[in-house]
Structure 1
Amino acid sequence: MPECLIVQPIHRAGLDLLTAHGVTPRFASAPDMPTVAREIPGCAGVITRNAGLDAAAVEAGASLRVIVNHGVGMNRIAVDRATELGIPVCNTPTANARSVAEHAIALILALARKVMEGDAAVRSGDWRLRYEGRMMELHGKTLGLAGFGTIARITGAIARHGLGMRLLVFSPGSEDAALREAGAERAPSVEALLAGADVVSLHRPLRPDTRHMINADTLHHMRPHALLVNTARGELVDTAALAEALREGRLAGAAADVFAVEPPGAEEPLLSAPNTVLAPHIAGVTEEAMRETALQCAAQVLDVLAGRRPPHLVRPEVWERQRS
């Protein structure tokens, strides 16, 4: 029976699907790459999460026929090397989209209505927040979406139809028709997005051109009452610059579910910044999303091993020259 290495835990439903179709899950003893490289030989497939799969581990998998990422972002997987070796790489771009979008909305509401401060006030018997809180009603405000993929579109739909917010979108690759259908206006630049929004939600992939798109210069375009939420990639934000803007009162609040280093070390600037809500990369970790993501991962492993083209190939061109 072929084996599939499971680098980090996935929902039981995915494991059961593999087993039911004759593929044996083998669990990595640790998610670090040297360990994975030692344990991947003999495996026909691998499912990894945020641990990724580096070039050394890919090369060590002499029997490897498919790599599947439990999630969307591919920056921790050696896709180029896998493609050179003829190994299809797949991801799951839609499985957790609604859960992440709901979490983005939750963080926006937590900031706007000072949920964390309110909880602390009640526990300490301090009622001043009721009179001095200066909270924001979201109805009629503008939500700026940086990126307009599936998660951003769902976030925008919830904000527009559920909260009555206006939508402003910066997404150079999105067609005008898609924005019109969503009832959104296009921002011509990141700076225009930041200047025109009361709340900014980040949904862009990490690439050289998006790294630190939120930095000391771009933050100066944001309104003092504005809020920033990041459920995409930690490296999109220069958190030192963001923490400074928060301390100086040039921004009303920020929320982050993702960090450049996870877990963040004590030196992470946002840990000591005021008016923040921080979460440990849990936007997509609902029961429903975890089950669907695991099922999509397992199904694509089975597709490739059976010679069927999987639905979410990261590099489609590899299919015609894949490793035998």
Structure 2
Amino acid sequence: MVKVLVLDPVHESGLDLLRTAPDVTCVHLAEPKDAEIVRHMADAEILILRGRKLPRGAFEQAQKLRLVSRHGVGCDNLDFDLMQDLGVTVAVAADSNYVSVAEHAIALILAGLKRLPVADEAVRSANWSLRDHLGARELQGAKVLVVGFGRIGQAFASRVSAFGAQCLVYDPFLTSNPCNVTPVETLEDGLAQADIVSLHLPNTAETANLLDAARLAQMRPGSLLVNTARGGIVDEGALLEALNKRCPAIYATDVLASEPPSPDDPLLNRPDVILTPHSAAMTREAAQRMSERAAQNALDFLSGELSPEMTAFRPSETLARSSH
């Protein structure tokens, strides 16, 4: 029997796939303690992992572990160098949440353009006359820079284009143009043109603090910055200074560099910042798809049929752990 360890709450449909699979034992720890995780990892061959970051020691004691199947897409909670050393493959739910995240980015844009948090507060505080001074804007006719053009970026581009916005794209790995967008050669060029900038790229060593003080200074006065990617892509210290200069004028984000944020995080108390709790991917539909895909990736791995599209990392053949 192959033991599959599932950490944290996941949709029952994915668990059902594992529970009904032959020669598989599914152990689900919905609210695990650290010691409980380490104990179960000791003999687990597959780990299904959400956003939790486990200590190195937990992995080093998992002598039978062969696969980490991410309940999601980003892998910044995993150390690929460690996975290489341990011979562990990493799979992602690559096709599960791109619609939800793309829609969430649109929602954040509309909330920023229409000043929805300010308008909501105006009604609740009996400040009805503020409606004449909101400064709301339209998405139609705006130039929107999409930074990162993978599944989510493409889904976002098709949707924002339907509003009548002009889509610019910056992605150094762009090889095709399925959404009929306008590529820009440099990020700086795109930032200087865009009314709205939407981030759709992973947090890696290359993208950490990608939007630093120098690049934020390239943004247009009054522009809107939307982040449904990862908090570490934006230098939040530099962002505070940029917001004071209204470049950008509004930061609408689902992600922060530190999650959850500390109560004294200065971004929490600014009317020019719109926040959601890293929930873009967690629609009911996406939660079910991610659970099912994470489970299916585990089963496909066991049968030797894990799709390359779902494979984020594969160790060299000499280091990959076998089932024997």
TM bucket, shorter chain? over 0.9
Q: For 1:163-202, what aligned pairs fall within 5 Å after superposition?
A: 163-175=163-175, 178-179=176-177, 181-202=178-199
**1:257–1:278 Cα contact (<8 Å) kept:** yes
The separation in 2 between residues aligned to 1:153 and 1:129, in whole angstroms, is 37
Cross-structure match for 1:270: 267
By how many angstroms is 1:43 displaced? 1.3
Q: Corresponding residue for 1:280?
A: 277
- Residue ranges of structure 1 left out of the alignment (5+ in a row): none
1:228 to partner: Cα distance: 0.3
Question: Could you tell me which residue of structure 2 aligns to residue 152 of structure 1?
Answer: 153
Which of 220, 223, 239 is the matching residue for 1:223?
220
The corresponding residue for 2:257 is 260
What is the CA-CA distance between 1:239 and the residue it aligns to? 1.3
Q: Distance in 2 between matches of 1:229 and 1:129?
A: 25
Aligned residues: 320
Whichever residue aligns with residue 169 of structure 1, its letter is V
Runs of at least 5 residues in structure 2 that lack an aligned partner in the other structure? none
Q: Tell me, what secondary structure is at the counterpart of 1:314? A: strand
Do the aligned residues in 1 keep the contact of 2:196 with 2:225 (CA within 8 Å)? yes
**Aligned AA (2:229):** A
Deviations 1:256-299 (A, max 9, x none): 10111110112423112231110000000011101111111101
Q: State the TM-score, normalizing by the size of structure 1.
A: 0.93
Q: Does the 8 Å contact 2:85/2:319 carry over to 1?
A: no
Deviation of the 1:158 alpha carbon: 0.3
Matched, 1:75 2:76: yes
Query: 1:37 is matched with which residue?
Result: 38
User: For residues 1-324 of structure 1, what are the structure 2 equivalents within 5 Å?
Assistant: 1-22=1-22, 23-28=24-29, 30=31, 35-161=36-162, 163-175=163-175, 178-179=176-177, 181-311=178-308, 312-316=310-314, 318=316, 322-324=320-322
Deviation at 1:110, TM superposition (A): 0.3
**Helix, strand or coil: the match of 2:44?**
coil
Q: What's the TM-score, normalizing by structure 2?
A: 0.93
Q: 3-state DSSP class of the match of 1:191?
A: helix
Shift of the 231–34 alpha-carbon distance from structure 1 to 2, 3 Å rule, reads farther
Range that drifts further, 144-153 or 236-245: 236-245
Report deviation, 1:33.
5.8
2: CA distance between counterparts of 1:319 and 1:88? 11
Q: Residues 55 and 279 of structure 1: is their aligned pair in 2 closer, same or farther, counting only changes over 3 Å?
A: same
Structure 2 vs 1, CA of residues 319 and 2 (structure 1 numbering), >3 Å: closer, same or farther?
same
* Pair 39,281 (structure 1): closer, same or farther in 2 beyond 3 Å: same
User: Share of identical aligned residues, percent?
Assistant: 37
Q: How far is the alpha carbon of 1:214 from its aligned partner?
A: 1.3
- Aligned partners of 1:83 and 1:208: how far apart in 2? 17
2:87 touches 2:315 (CA, 8 Å); kept in 1?
A: no
Once the two structures are overlaid, the 10-residue window that deviates more, 305-314 or 119-128, is: 305-314
